[in-house]
Amino acid sequence: MRPLLWLTAALLAVTTATACGTGGGGGETGPGSTQAATPPDDQLDLDAVVTVRMILEPVSLNPFSTSGVAVDQLLLDNVYEGLVSVVDGEVVPRLASSWEVSPDGLGYTFTLVDGATFHDGSPVTSADVVWSLRQQIAPGSTALRAAEFASVAGVSAPDATTVKVDLKQRDTFLLWNLTQRGGIVYKQGTDFAALDAKDNGSGPYTISAWNRGADITLTRFDGYWGAKPKNSKVVLRYIPEANAANNAQTTGQTDVQTAADATLLQPFQGNPGFTVYKGTTTDKFTLALNNKRAPFDNPDVRHAFRKAINKDDVIAAYGAGIKIGGPVPPQDPWHTDLTGVDAHDPAAARELLAKAGQSNLAVTLDIPNVYPRAIADVLVSNLKEVGVTLTVRQVEFPTWLTRVFTNHDYELSVVNHAEARDIGNYAKPDYYFGYDNKQVQADYAAARTAASDGERDELLRKVAKRASDDAATDWLFLNETRTVVRAGVYGVPTAETTNRFPVSGIAVGT
């Protein structure tokens, strides 16, 4: 699953990376639109407490080894930082003020910013960076993103403000991977198992409260080395149910509603107290077909399922989205239009199922209960049309993580793959998809060591095309998010917010 988001010189990210709006319009804006400019500080309540509705609560506050994009959404650039971050798809400085790459592409030298400290007051030094990255590359590392740093031969600190990363071979993804969880800089000697009880990042907020099942409070860290947040606290309220989220927003219990249900926006449209913003995402709602379990070990069956499902029906049921046909969203430089692969064709689907000897197939779908039931209902209807009986099993997200993602104990599953640039999942035969194509693995490996971005991008287009041609999974749609913002609230992120949600630029007018 995926990576991406930064801050120039530590200050710009929050406002620039957030194409957001201020309340007061009552309508719905389109992608790329911006909110009204945030007023000067003397017209803001810099001690305001902002409440934001979220959907998926993290299962742990340990970013080192805990799966789930909710961890990234909460912690990246809010509580923890890396050498670099990402803004509008571009890598930007964070704890590193600058970096240089050697002519052969095998050495990266980072210079740290001045004055950065952890929340316990100790300075962020090159020794902390070296220790953190060595936890990723250590033999047998339990780091969630350890595989992303397989190219790293060693990490060293020539002095207190310089970090040197040496590679075994070129790695065109290194900087990008450093913007993600694997690039977090921890204090040397951090006990990762203790992070649920006490964070110690270098970001603009600390976690002051976690009421499990309800909310998490981020409190401004007054010793932060970068730009001062424009609020004193942000309370993230986890409200999975769409109608309950609408009620919280309309009654003033929340100031911002992220991931608003696009079919339930009537209370906000034409209402001068709110503005609805439409934003791009890398959220790929994916139908996983367990390639290692019958009948989905048969490519004909996988292609049949793809052809049976009408993506327009799924998008209509969900309320927002675009067809993609493959694992790459349009934001990525290696995107290509694959919507014509396995286009909706129920007759062809029935023929393929008959060829595979599966004309009266019954299968089970595991889907986290945070997603609308309407998605599963469309799949039931579409598959019934081609002679497949689909049983839907809605599960809690932690159950999904254990049963499906970790144990691979499933036939079909739907989940939102929100991570950016996660095409490498299709080159992992032990990933929960069970997809194993040696050419895909070779092309992906070659892309990582490519001599240029153009060469990398061409190889990754081949990876995406082959994964689609093999029906490795099915891609139901790419989500377009809706964010509802109360009038008088500024600087709210509205694009690419599922995997990163920087809150220090959110401001409230006086």
Q: Which tens digits make up the pLDDT trace of 293-331?
A: 999 999 999 999 999 999 999 999 998 899 999 999 999
How confident is the model over 447-489, as pLDDT tens digits?
999 999 999 999 999 999 999 999 999 999 999 999 999 999 9
- 357 contacts: CB under 8 Å, gap ≥ 6: none
For residue 272, the 8-state DSSP code is: T
Q: Around Cβ 465, how many Cβ atoms within 10 Å?
A: 18
User: How many angstroms separate the first and last alpha carbons of the chain?
Assistant: 40
Q: What is the pLDDT, as a whole number, of residue 29? A: 57
How much is the average pLDDT of 54-80? 94
pTM above 0.85, yes or no: no
**Residue 94 domain-assigned (yes or no):** no
**Residue 202 domain-assigned (yes or no):** no
Whole-Å CA distances, 1 to 11, 58, 72, 327, 496: 27, 16, 11, 11, 14
Helical H segments across 4-151, by residue range = 13-16, 69-75, 126-137
User: What total number of domains does the chain contain?
Assistant: 1
Type and span of the H or E element at 394: strand 388-395
- CA 51 to mean position of chain CA atoms: 21
Cis bond before residue 295 (omega within 30° of 0) = yes
Helix/strand/coil percentages in the chain, nearest 5: 25, 25, 50
**Residue 24 domain-assigned (yes or no):** no
**Residue 81 domain-assigned (yes or no):** no
**Residue 326 domain-assigned (yes or no):** yes
Nearest 5°: the CA angle 264, 269, 273 is: 115
Q: State which residues form the domain around 324.
A: 284-478
How confident is the model over 198-244, as pLDDT tens digits?
999 999 999 999 999 999 999 999 999 999 999 999 999 999 999 99
C-alpha to C-alpha distance for 314 and 460, rounded to whole angstroms: 27
C-alpha to C-alpha distance for 396 and 195, rounded to whole angstroms: 23
**Residue 68 domain-assigned (yes or no):** no
**Residue 328 domain-assigned (yes or no):** yes
Q: Token pair for residue 480? A: 């377009």
Is residue 429 predicted with pLDDT exceeding 50?
yes
CATH code: domain of residue 410: 3.10.105.10
Q: What is the pLDDT, as a whole number, of residue 6? A: 25
- 368 contacts: CB under 8 Å, gap ≥ 6: 394, 395, 396, 397, 400, 415
Torsion of CA 219, 222, 225, 228, to 10 degrees: 70
- The band of 98, judged by pLDDT with boundaries at 50, 70 and 90, is very high
**Residue 379 domain-assigned (yes or no):** yes
- For the chain, the C-alpha Rg in angstroms (whole number) is 23
- The band of 26, judged by pLDDT with boundaries at 50, 70 and 90, is low
Instruction: Report percent pLDDT > 90 for the chain.
Output: 86
C-alpha to C-alpha distance for 51 and 42, rounded to whole angstroms: 22
Per the prediction, the chain carries an average pLDDT of 92
C-alpha to C-alpha distance for 492 and 36, rounded to whole angstroms: 11
Q: What is the pLDDT, as a whole number, of residue 44? A: 97
